[in-house]
Amino acid sequence: MTYQSQRISHWYFKAALLLFALQVVLGLWLAINYSYTLPQSIVNVFSFATARAIHTNLLVLWMLLGFMGGTYYIVPEETQSEIYSPAIAWFQLIALVVTGVVAIVGFVFGWTQGRPLLEIPRPLDAVVVIGALLFLFNVGMTMFKANRWTVVQGTLLGGLLFLALLYLFGIPFYKNVVIDWYYWWWVIHLWVEGAWELVTGAILAFILIKTTGVDRHVVEKWLYVEIGLFLFTGIVGTGHHYYWIGAPKYWLWFGGIFSALEPLPILLMMIDTIMHVKKRKLEIKNPFTFTLAVGCAVLHMIGAGVLGLLHTLPQINYYTHGSQVTVAHGHLAFYGAYALLNFLVFYYAMPKLKGIEVYNDTKGKIAFWTMSSAMSLMAVTFGIAGVVQSYVERMLGMGYMTAQHYMRLWFEVTLVLGIFFFIGMLFMVYDLFTLKPAKVKK
């Protein structure tokens, strides 16, 4: 760490970690809802719906905090200047965390917009928008003042702008449910398969340049190609969510073909990450950083690329749409692409923020392998449940609850795996809060 204002990012990371811990607890509760019959009295007071809203909103919130913290860490080094206004950065962190807490308490009392993943009520949306504008202003001003443009900075700023712009489409009340879902996906799909990929590409490129010493021009050239392909396939690829909503039939073609190409940039990203790590010029200080970078690249490919591709063609999606197959993909994709990216940022930046050059990575490794194995297996169990559901409910037409009975075993196994994931999570959160220098080997 060379710039004072980078310190703010430390608080973003800590807040993100605590919210992540809470998200996982709620995930366990959801799995309990699936595995056991809860009494009506509990369901009336704290239903699956409420818990799910909290689980998914916390997910988005902690990841955004992680991205913002990462941005505040990276931008000073890239621009070689202090952040334009540390005060804004502080204000914005507090505003976002308070909004999140109010939203979650609100959900418990039934204050909700009632649209999956976008449950945050409209008045709070306004706060989110103001926070986002301040953030963009702060980051943008830092970059403009420094005027030392790099591709990494440009991609980061572009991705964040795109991300904030898309959020606006999720705010209005749409009378027509078809149009509602049409724009809902501008937020959800264009986020995870567009804007967030840009942010990820930029952050990954930055960390690779810093840790491997590979020539910046090489990394940035690849970055251009990747984000170009991400947006080319991902924008029209939104159509893979428009097959069954009452939109025109041509979406079966456009959505199917473009989204089937979406794994290409992810594959490219995986290959170039591995190549850069292999061809590194600098000496290895913290080998765990590379474990995380390669783990992220590989699980990103499996969760998003492979599991996404499996059900993206309309012929298959007709039977798997809105089933547990979607859940299998949603979990491994979010974990592989964005949770691991955040962990990479945490393990890259937090030791430096504490002035630790080489950290002890024993607990971190245990955490990484436990969480990654548990989540990969959860994708398998959710996936099996989903295939059973697609077959029994959709192909045989035997009714929703009948199919659920056949699936129950797999939810129980998921719950057990979730407990392992939870333990891994505890290791990581504890580790990051108590990082220690490695004992010097002589």
Partner 1 sequence: MTKKVALWIFLVGTISSSALFLWLTWDTHRQVEFLANVDKLSDDVVAGKRVFEKYNCNDCHTILGFGAYYAPDMTKVVKRIGVDGIRYRVKSPEKAFANSSRKMPQQNLTDDEIEKLIAFFTWVGEIDNNDWPPQDSAKRLTRSEEVMVASAGLSPGAAVYQRRGCMNCHSLQGKGGSVGPALDKVGKRLKQAEIRRYIRDPKAVNAKAIMPAQKDLSNKELDEVARFLANLK
* Cβ atoms within 10 Å of 442's Cβ, excluding its own: 3
Torsion angle of alpha carbons 186, 187, 189, 192, nearest 10°? 140
Residues in contact with Fe ion by CB under 5 A are 189, 193
**Spatial distance between the Cα atoms of 253 and 250, rounded to a whole number of angstroms:** 5
Q: Which residue has the tokens 């060379």?
A: 2
251 contacts which partner out of Fe ion, partner 1, ligand HEM, none, CB within 5 to 8 A by kind?
Answer: partner 1
Angle at CA of residue 387, ends 386 and 388, nearest 5°: 90
- Determine which residue in the list 249, 439, 441, 442 makes contact with partner 1, applying CB under 8 A: 249
* Positions 108 through 167 that interact with ligand HEM (CB under 6 A): 116
Please check whether residue 107 is in contact with residue 50, taking contact to mean a CB–CB distance below 8 angstroms: yes
The least distance separating partner 1 from the CB of residue 375, rounded to whole angstroms, comes to 18
The stretch near ligand HEC (CB under 6 A) out of 13-21, 42-50, 157-165, 378-386 is: 42-50
Nearer to Fe ion, 26 or 188 (CB): 188
**Spatial distance between the Cα atoms of 435 and 22, rounded to a whole number of angstroms:** 21
DSSP E strand stretches across 79-176: none
DSSP assigned state of 46? S
The least distance separating Fe ion from the CB of residue 241, rounded to whole angstroms, comes to 6
Q: Does 273 bind ligand HEM (CB under 6 A)?
A: no
Tokens of 244: 């069954």
Q: Does 401 bind ligand HEC (CB under 6 A)?
A: yes
* Positions 175 through 204 that interact with ligand HEC (CB under 6 A): none
* Positions 297 through 336 that interact with ligand HEM (CB under 6 A): 304-305, 308-309, 311-312, 317, 321-322, 326-327, 329-331, 333-335
**Spatial distance between the Cα atoms of 377 and 383, rounded to a whole number of angstroms:** 9
* Positions 27 through 56 that interact with ligand HEM (CB under 6 A): 27-28, 30-31, 34, 52, 55-56
| CB within 8 Å of 373: residues ≥ 6 apart | 420
263 contacts which partner out of ligand HEM, ligand HEC, Fe ion, none, CB within 5 to 8 A by kind?
Answer: ligand HEM
DSSP E strand stretches across 173-303: none
* Positions 278 through 307 that interact with ligand HEC (CB under 6 A): none
Nearer to Fe ion, 189 or 300 (CB): 189
* Positions 305 through 364 that interact with partner 1 (CB under 8 A): 318-319, 321-324, 326-327
- Determine which residue in the list 1, 18, 22, 49 makes contact with ligand HEC, applying CB under 6 A: 49
DSSP assigned state of 306? I
Q: Which residue has the tokens 């490129």?
A: 205
Angle at CA of residue 102, ends 97 and 106, nearest 5°: 150
436 contacts which partner out of ligand HEM, partner 1, Fe ion, none, CB within 5 to 8 A by kind?
Answer: none
Q: Does 47 bind ligand HEC (CB under 6 A)?
A: yes
Q: Is 437 helix (H, G, I), strand (E, B) or coil?
A: strand
The least distance separating ligand HEC from the CB of residue 116, rounded to whole angstroms, comes to 12
Q: Does 401 bind partner 1 (CB under 8 A)?
A: yes
The stretch near partner 1 (CB under 8 A) out of 93-101, 129-137, 239-247, 287-295 is: 239-247
Tokens of 424: 């891994």
17 contacts which partner out of ligand HEM, partner 1, ligand HEC, none, CB within 5 to 8 A by kind?
Answer: none
- Backbone φ and ψ for 83, nearest 5 degrees, come out as -65, 140
Measured CA distances, 159 to 9, 12, 186, 388, 428 (Å): 19, 19, 14, 38, 28
Please check whether residue 423 is in contact with residue 383, taking contact to mean a CB–CB distance below 8 angstroms: no
The least distance separating ligand HEC from the CB of residue 287, rounded to whole angstroms, comes to 46
Q: Is 97 helix (H, G, I), strand (E, B) or coil?
A: helix
* Positions 371 through 400 that interact with partner 1 (CB under 8 A): 393-400
**Contact positions toward ligand HEM, by CB under 6 A?**
24, 27-28, 30-31, 34, 52, 55-56, 59, 116, 188, 192-193, 240-241, 259, 262-263, 304-305, 308-309, 311-312, 317, 321-322, 326-327, 329-331, 333-335, 337, 339, 414, 418, 421-422
